[in-house]
Amino acid sequence: MLQYVEKVYDSVVEKDPGQPEFHQAVKEVFNNLAPALEKHPIYRKNKILERIIEPERQIIFRVPWVDDDDEIQVSRGFRVQFNSAIGPYKGGLRFHPSVYIGIIKFLGFEQIFKNSLTGLPMGGAKGGSDFDPKGKSEMEVMRFCQSFMTELYRHVGPETDVPAGDIGVGGREIGYLYGQYKQLVNRSDGVLTGKGLEYGGSLIRPEATGYGSVYFAKEMLKVRGEEIKGKICTVSGSGNVAQYTVEKLNQLGAKVVTLSDSDGSIYDPDGISGEKFKYVLELKQIKRGRIKEYAEEFNVEYRPNKRPWDIKCELAFPSATENEIEREDAQTLVDNGVIAVCEGANMPSTNEAIDIFLEAGIAFGPGKAANAGGVATSGLEMAQNAMRISWSREEVDKRLHEIMVNIHKTAYEISNIYGDPGNYVLGANIGGFRKVADAMIAQGHW
Ligand code: NDP
């Protein structure tokens, strides 16, 4: 890293020492920016790095709610509005006990560059709470969401900040949040994306992140004269992103042999397709059960507390959470002959794991490019809301596909320009950064 970039990075660590996930996300981006800063001195002159690492606004708030035993519980809510240089703030809400300001800042920082790569006018933000929806009753989840929105509504709006889902926030939670927002402001505006189809949601939004990740993998494979068809794939997680990654992989003729949750993973060498895939959707979306039940139902191996990465595969789709591929996992994947790793989750690979993939020369699709289909389709939902129309499934899927092809093209072309062809980490970081940096310069010093 250029000495100057290192100095700015050190200042981040010094200012906020207790936020390792945020430091990791900044380092991953900064590692690639030195050549762009050397080529374009205007960025350094305008102190873009110093400005871009500081959120425009951070909101932390109390979320009191009453549980089913009539006890008052107090959770903590967050919204970090990181950067609005290219459009209204946009990024999901995460409800998970691990949430604190460092997680929200890492996700918000990633979101700036991801949103820029989609080509749509969306700034970067993220939010959430340390509330754990797991094991809560329907009414507890509803009361929590209502209380959360009772503060959040002051800070969001269709032209200001448009949140969406993430871990622990799916269609059910978005519905309760939206209902409360409407109660408070007396307006039906598209303030959230991921809404139900009956009240302004977009077709393909639930599928978008998973489908987009597979479209990105397809493009990476095409460059190498390979295709998805016939490939053995491992997928981690079993939530929204994992489910629709599996669906698209099945449609394109691959075989998916693993899924996981935070308790362990399943290995089904015959493939998770047909009735077995339908079972996963029902288990996770309706019963809200554990992936272990799949192993019991279909008599396959359940691996408690184990991730899928020791299972031999050609394509790997980490789609659960951050830092789920560590150095050793990456080495195992490479030793077992993996051809491509495509990040459906945000920052699932540690920086050491990424180095191993890049050194091995496999196709590596970083999250900010590979999982951008979710937010891109949220952008399409915003467009449909603004025009008061609904596009067909085919129309939205076509646009999503085009956006993923374009993101791949941008990242690939930039990796060529900067002399490291096929390094999508470099291509995505510089590609995402330059548009935001240019917009910041154009709008003066703020
Ligand atoms: P869901 O809540 O639907 O699913 C999350 C899955 O990951 C669950 O299977 C969950 O298991 C597992 N998981 C969560 N935390 C951990 C953990 N600490 N260790 C092991 N497993 C864990 O979330 P999504 O599918 O929406 O999100 C998955 C990833 O994709 C996240 O990184 C998210 O930021 C990213 N992403 C999501 C987008 C979207 O549109 N939803 C868009 C872009 C990125 P369990 O049930 O046991 O908690």
Query: Which domains, ranges and CATH numbers included, belong to the chain?
Result: 2-188 (3.40.50.10860), 208-365 (3.40.50.720)
Which amino acid, one-letter code, is at 76?
R
pLDDT at 26 over 80: yes
Q: What number is the average pLDDT over the span 391-419?
A: 98
pLDDT of residue 209: 98
SS3 content of the chain, % helix, strand, coil (to 5): 50, 15, 30
pLDDT of residue 20: 98
pLDDT at 58 over 80: yes
Which amino acid, one-letter code, is at 442?
A
Active site includes 126?
A: yes
Q: Return the best residue to mutate from 111, 195, 240 for the ligand 1 pocket (most ligand atoms within 8 A of CB).
A: 240
What secondary structure letter does DSSP report for 197?
G
**Which of 100, 97, 89, 13 is CA-nearest to residue 56?**
89
Count CA within 13 A, CB hemisphere, residue 402. 9
pLDDT at 419 over 60: yes
**Which of 311, 302, 347 is CA-nearest to residue 326?**
347
What residues does 59 pair with on adjacent strands? Answer: 79
Give the ligand 1 atom nearest the CA of 347. Answer: 32
Query: Do residues 353 and 330 touch, judged by C-beta distance below 8 A?
Result: yes
Q: Compute the mean pLDDT over every residue in the chain, rounded to the nearest whole number.
A: 97
Report the alpha-carbon distance of residue 9 to residue 123 in Å, rounded: 22
Neighbours of 136 (CB within 10 A): 19
Report the alpha-carbon distance of residue 85 to residue 77 in Å, rounded: 24
Nearest-CA residue for ligand 1 atom 3 is: 239
Per-residue tokens: 100: 């604190």
pLDDT of residue 334: 98
Per-residue tokens: 367: 């999250």
pLDDT at 240 over 60: yes
Judge residue 326's burial from the number of C-beta atoms within 10 Å of its C-beta, 0-12 exposed, 13-18 middle, 19 or more buried: middle
Q: Which residues of 73-108 are buried (b: 16+ CB within 10 A; e: fewer)?
A: bebebbbbbbbbbbbbbbbbbbbbeebbbbbbbbbb
Report the alpha-carbon distance of residue 442 to residue 119 in Å, rounded: 18
Per-residue tokens: 143: 């009361």
Q: How far is the CA of 438 from the centre of ligand 1 (A)?
A: 33
pLDDT of residue 113: 98
Torsion of CA 200, 204, 206, 210, to 10 degrees: -160
Give the ligand 1 atom nearest the CA of 375. Answer: 42
What residues does 78 pair with on adjacent strands? Answer: 60, 128
pLDDT at 290 over 80: yes
Sign of CA dihedral 141, 165, 278, 256: negative
pLDDT of residue 445: 84
pLDDT of residue 156: 98
Per-residue tokens: 62: 């109390």
Q: What is the pLDDT of residues 114-136, one digit of tens each?
A: 999 999 999 999 999 999 999 99
pLDDT of residue 446: 73
pLDDT of residue 1: 55
What residues does 71 pair with on adjacent strands? Answer: none
Backbone torsion region of residue 208, taken as left when φ is above 0, otherwise alpha when ψ lies between -120 and 50, otherwise beta? alpha
Nearest-CA residue for ligand 1 atom 17 is: 262
Query: Do residues 266 and 311 touch, judged by C-beta distance below 8 A?
Result: no
pLDDT over 90, % of the chain: 99
Q: Return the best residue to mutate from 126, 321, 375 for the ligand 1 pocket (most ligand atoms within 8 A of CB).
A: 321
Q: What number is the average pLDDT over the span 184-199?
A: 96
- Which residues form ligand 1's pocket by a CB distance below 6 Å? 165-168, 170, 209, 237-242, 261-263, 319-321, 344-346, 371, 374
Contacts of 277 (CB under 8 A, 6+ apart): 246, 247, 250
pLDDT at 2 over 90: no
Q: Could you tell me the pLDDT band of residue 237, with boundaries at 50, 70 and 90?
A: very high
Q: How far is the CA of 34 from the centre of ligand 1 (A)?
A: 32
pLDDT of residue 404: 98
